[in-house]
Amino acid sequence: MTKRGEKYWLWSDCLLQSTTRKTVTDGGAQIEVSARTSRRAVTQLFVGAYQANGLALAEEYYADCPDESVEQALDWGERRGQFLIESRGMHPAARAWPKRTSRGRTGLVLPAIDARDWSRTAFLARINAAQARYKAACRKMVEVMKRSNVPKEEWEACRVELNAAIDERASALRINTH
């Protein structure tokens, strides 16, 4: 029996219908992925990776999966669960994930993950780069806000960069862009 952690209980809501996929790896580790549409029509995702004895290796809850359907979120969640198990050395690396694309709700074609995106080093480097860009954009915005007279073009450029940095930072853990 699976021992649920804090993230699962943050995720759980008996009034919302969700779709769940469960997978057992060759080594006995379990992956559970659930996705749903929230009351505000936002796709939400839960990814759980468990040892063969049911103890949690990792649980993740994504309150907002922008531009993804429930099916797309489940697909990504399965790959994320596999990565969580592989990164904890529960079994040897599985096949490389094929590169493919998916169409989000906005019609934007998003590149899916290829094998190199799943290395822990690349994953952490991407998170650090996104965090650095976000901090730089925040510093620039504060600097612009302190000035008494700012040209409209400079304000707009700063605003656009900050929004882009926020989006990149939010998507860094999702591994579904770039």
pLDDT tens digit at each of 178 positions of the chain:
678 877 778 777 878 888 999 999 888 899 999 999 988 888 999 999 998 888 888 888 888 887 788 998 898 888 888 888 887 765 544 443 433 444 444 444 444 444 444 455 666 677 788 889 999 999 999 999 999 899 999 999 999 999 888 888 777 655 443 2
Q: Which pLDDT belongs to residue 76?
A: 86
User: Rounded distance, CA 18 to CA 15, Å?
Assistant: 10
| Side chain identity at residue 137, one-letter code | A
What is the predicted pLDDT for the residue at 86? 83
pLDDT at 149: 92
pLDDT of residue 119: 52
pLDDT score of 92: 43
The pLDDT score that the predictor gives to residue 116 is: 43
Angstrom distances, CA of residue 71 to CA of 86, 101, 102, 117: 23, 14, 11, 21
At residue 99, the pLDDT reads 38
What gap in Å lies between CA 44 and CA 61, rounded to an integer? 8
Q: Name the CA radius of gyration of the chain, rounded.
A: 19
